[in-house]
């Protein structure tokens, strides 16, 4: 086992622990912090795979923007600790996880594991390559996605500004 593989297993182990904490902790803010930890660990995984741009974007977009907005909403609502979910939910979750495992394990067992997870070139995920494919080959889907997001933003603003009549909601 070389250094890169060792780092991968340490990161993957921590990632599994952080992800389990997201599911099992009972205070919402603690879950959110665990999720931030998991996202940061994924970013480090990307960086260890020679894709620093993808890793940094992961931190900036998910940990830096989206999760902050989540926390913002959580702080406003300030919910108490979650109650324990019922046996029925546990049963459903176990069945679904079992199904997922039944698909994943055969798939992964056919996969030829390489000794070194770092197989990508330095160019993978570099700003140059990303920009060329985004604004060259995939420019149409990119622009359509941006229009879609713009529509969603305008829709949110319109819904937010709608007069509420007599129901008094603010």
Partner 1 sequence: MIVDLAIVAVKAFLVLFMVLNLAGVLGWVERKGSALIQDRIGANRASIFGFAGMGLVNTLIADPLKFLTKEDFIPAAGDKLLHTLAPCMALFPALVTFAVIPFGDVLILGDRVINLQVANLNIGILYVFAMGSLGVYGIVIGAWASNNKFSLLGGVRGSAQMISYEVAMGLSVMGILMAYSTLDLQEIARDQGMLIRELLPARLGFLQPVMGWLPAWGVFLQPLGFLLFFTAAVAETKRIPFDLPEGESELVAGYHVEYSGGKFLMFFAGEFAEVVTVAGLVTTLFFGGWQVPYLMRDGFHFPWGSIWLLPHLAVVLLQVAAFTVKVLFFCWLQILLRWSVPRFRYDQVMRLGWKMMLPLALLNVAVTAVIIVAAQ
Does 111 engage in binding with partner 1 (CB under 8 A)? no
How many chain residues interact with partner 1 (CB under 8 A)? 23
Q: Is 43 exposed, middle or buried (0-12, 13-18, 19+ CB in 10 A)?
A: buried
- Which member of 68, 92, 93, 149 binds partner 1 (CB under 8 A)? 68
Tokens of 96: 């679904």
Does 44 engage in binding with partner 1 (CB under 8 A)? no
CA distance 42 to 61: 13
In sequence order, which residues have a C-beta less than 8 Å from that of residue 124 and are 6 or more positions away? 49, 50, 51
Does 77 engage in binding with partner 1 (CB under 8 A)? no
Stretch that binds partner 1, among 11-19, 68-76, 108-116, 160-168 (CB under 8 A): 68-76
Q: Is 168 left (phi over 0), alpha (psi -120 to 50) or beta?
A: left
CA distance 30 to 67: 12
Q: Which is nearer to partner 1, 15 or 32 (CB)?
A: 32
Q: Which is nearer to partner 1, 10 or 65 (CB)?
A: 65
Residues binding partner 1 (CB under 8 A): 27, 29-30, 33, 36, 52-53, 56-57, 59-60, 63-65, 68-69, 71-72, 75-76, 78, 126-127
């Amino acid at each position: 086992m070389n250094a890169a593989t060792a780092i991968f297993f340490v990161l993957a182990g921590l990632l599994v622990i952080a992800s389990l904490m997201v599911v099992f902790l009972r205070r919402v803010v603690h879950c959110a912090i665990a999720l931030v930890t998991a996202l940061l660990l994924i970013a480090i995984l990307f960086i260890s795979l020679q894709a620093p741009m993808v890793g940094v974007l992961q931190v900036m977009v998910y940990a830096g923007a989206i999760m902050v907005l989540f926390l913002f909403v959580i702080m406003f609502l300030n919910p108490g600790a979650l109650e324990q979910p019922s046996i029925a939910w546990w049963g459903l979750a176990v069945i679904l996880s079992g199904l997922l495992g039944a698909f994943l394990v055969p798939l992964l067992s056919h996969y030829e594991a390489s000794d070194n997870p770092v197989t990508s070139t330095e160019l993978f995920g570099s700003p140059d390559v990303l920009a060329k494919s985004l604004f060259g080959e995939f420019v149409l889907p990119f622009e359509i996605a941006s229009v879609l997001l713009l529509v969603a933003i305008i829709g949110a603003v319109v819904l937010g500004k709608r007069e509420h009549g007599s129901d008094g909601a603010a």
